[in-house]
Amino acid sequence: MIKKIISGGRTFADQRALDVAIKLGFAHGGWIPKGRMTKTGILPEKYNLKEMSTDNYSECIEQNVKDSKGTLIISYGKLTGDYDYARKVTLNYGHQLLGIDLKQTIPFKAASLVNDWAQLKTIDVLYVMGPKACVHPDAWKHTAHIVEGALTLDLMDAPPDSHTTDFTKEENLDKHPVIPKTVDEAVDQIIKEMPLKDSVYMAHLKKEGLRSLNLCLGVFIRNQFLQKDVNKELLESCIFVSGKDNLNENNAAFIIIEKLWEKLQGTHRLRIVN
């Protein structure tokens, strides 16, 4: 299960890999030369990369390899220069290596290969090197698609307690001053608060897997939406949506979870785009 993406941030493609990690709620990092200099200028502060004491990029590559369990090198054709150096360093340290040649493999297929490889080799920290823009104008876009697809597939395969937020923790309580009166309002409020990685994970659950969420998300719904001042309007909305004559708070919470899942299936499921 991938937990962190690291990169040198040297190219737009490297930076897009970090952007995907940020977007999906994964940890990110890496090492960059002194002065945070890249091929595109000074690396923005939003990226949590550490500066080396040298401006030698080869030393950054070696440190990134050491800090990761696997190196993913995305290219268009034969590896040269820094990319070939990263390959050699990875092998020298005995770490896992995967090369994706986009002249041979389309990005969506590549995402599946990366996910399969990361799971097979139990890679939790992944070092990504993306191709330079001068090699292909869509290098950054293809890199982002591969990393996002791989991480999304990783979320789909994760056990319930590995990626989802524990909504029963104190910091997740008392966040909603406006109590929803309908199931739709409750679903919309949860989506606003739910991290993107949780939304993606839930969207890919099978319906029978929703029961696993009732211990955390269900408790949150009952405490925050249903039990405060005995929210009769929301309870009645749950009864109407379910078509049942009567519901207790536990069953009403699960109705909201089901409707949340149905909505996320329409908005957060991974789809193949030709």
Does a structural domain hold residue 69?
Answer: yes
Output the pLDDT for position 209: 77
Does a structural domain hold residue 112?
Answer: yes
Does a structural domain hold residue 272?
Answer: no
Both 170 and 201 in a single domain?
yes
Output the pLDDT for position 107: 82
Both 173 and 147 in a single domain?
no
More confident residue, 228 or 202: 202
Q: b/e string for 131-143 if b means 16 or more Cβ within 10 A?
A: bbeeebeebbebb
For residue 132, the domain's CATH number is 3.40.50.450
Structure tokens at 243: 């078509």
Both 144 and 191 in a single domain?
no
Both 149 and 172 in a single domain?
no
Output the pLDDT for position 45: 92
Does a structural domain hold residue 175?
Answer: yes
Both 133 and 224 in a single domain?
no
CB contact at 8 A, 135 and 143:
no
Domain finish residue from 109, 128, 157: 157
Domain that holds residue 106: 4-157
Both 152 and 82 in a single domain?
yes
Segments of the chain assigned E as strands: 4-6, 27-29, 31-32, 37-38, 41-42, 50-51, 70-75, 96-101, 125-129
Average pLDDT over the chain, rounded to an integer: 86
Both 172 and 153 in a single domain?
no
Does a structural domain hold residue 274?
Answer: no
Q: What percent of the chain has pLDDT over 90?
A: 55
**What does the pLDDT look like over 53-93, one tens digit per residue?**
999 999 999 999 999 999 999 999 999 999 999 999 999 99
More confident residue, 193 or 46: 46
Place of tokens 């309580």: 173
DSSP state for residue 73 in the 8-state scheme? E
Both 80 and 175 in a single domain?
no
Both 248 and 184 in a single domain?
yes
Domain finish residue from 111, 135, 157: 157
Instruction: Give me the count of residues in the chain.
Output: 274
Both 171 and 146 in a single domain?
no
Collapse the DSSP code of 100 into the 3-class scheme (helix H, G, I; strand E, B; otherwise coil) and give the result. Answer: strand
DSSP string, 240-258: HHHT-S---HHHHHHHHHH
Structure tokens at 112: 């599946």
CB contact at 8 A, 202 and 260:
yes
pLDDT greater than 70 at residue 99: yes
Domain finish residue from 157, 192, 223: 157
Return the sign of the alpha-carbon dihedral for residues 144, 141, 8, 44.
Answer: negative
Say how far apart CA 144 and CA 116 lie, in whole Å.
17
CB contact at 8 A, 263 and 202:
no
Say how far apart CA 9 and CA 30 lie, in whole Å.
8
Both 122 and 197 in a single domain?
no
Both 176 and 144 in a single domain?
no
Q: Total domain count for the chain?
A: 2
Output the pLDDT for position 157: 64
